[in-house]
Amino acid sequence: MHYYRYSNAEVSCWYKYLLFSYNIVFWGVLSDLTKVTRLHGIDPVVLVLMVGVVMFTLGFAGCVGALRENICLLKFFCGAIVLIFFLELAVAVLAFLFQDWVRDRFREFFESNIRSYRDDIDLQNLIDSLQKANQCCGAYGPEDWDLNVYFNCSGASYSREKCGVPFSCCVPDPAQKVVNTQCGYDVRIQLKSKWDEFIFTKGCIQALEGWLPRNIYIVAGVFIAISLLQIFGIFLARTLISDIEAVKAGHYF
């Protein structure tokens, strides 16, 4: 005959369902990453699948681990969040130490996407948003659009957009209420000294390099907020694990 002795230890429902809610929020944040379409050399479908696997695995481990009080799943979830946290920290440090390498990779990324500008509508919207928000054109200037077969100025091109730039490079006209998507046509046929009257002549790499020092506190605040959110998730998981272990330790035969 078995006898059981129960201690006063119990699993906190507060931490249990708070961790479950945390995973719902975390799941939603990760799902936003699937909106990124094409990165240099990576197929969008592969990227979406990779993010989906990570999202499902962490969400499953966190939610089921919390509801079923499964220590193995909770430890996996906690370990994964710790790993992601240190990876983010390592990327930030390496990006600061190797700024020239990061600049070269961003140039390759931008130039690769310029070539594919008309091939992917999501990619097109991404570049247009980047150029409009930063009032820039191309990686280092409007001439980078020669990399695109439609905007190339070579004699072999018969495109109507030949020697032009996307409308997102155009200097906005306050009098126009409707966006003129043809404002960049034939702009680069004109004298280079007149370009800045019609389009942005600053490259997006220079624009982003100028944006970062001006918004360093915002960037630091976002990084700290994300870090605190991850630390909070680690705290919840570790606390719930401790509660479950305390309850199990209080059961004796």
124 and 88 in contact (C-beta within 8 Å)?
A: no
pTM of the model: 0.62
Q: What is the mean pLDDT of the chain?
A: 80
65 and 74 in contact (C-beta within 8 Å)?
A: yes
More confident residue, 57 or 24: 57
- Mean local confidence (pLDDT), 193-219: 87
Using pLDDT thresholds of 50, 70 and 90, give the confidence band for residue 92: confident
Q: What gap in Å lies between CA 37 and CA 120, rounded to an integer?
A: 9
**Residue the block writes with tokens 């695995």:** 57
Contact partners, residue 137, CB within 8 Å, separation at least 6: 131, 144, 145, 165, 168, 169, 199, 200, 201, 202, 203, 204
Cα dihedral value 148, 150, 155, 160, nearest 10: -150
Give phi and psi for 146, each to the nearest 5.
-65, -20
Quick check: 183 pLDDT over 50? yes
- Mean local confidence (pLDDT), 57-65: 80
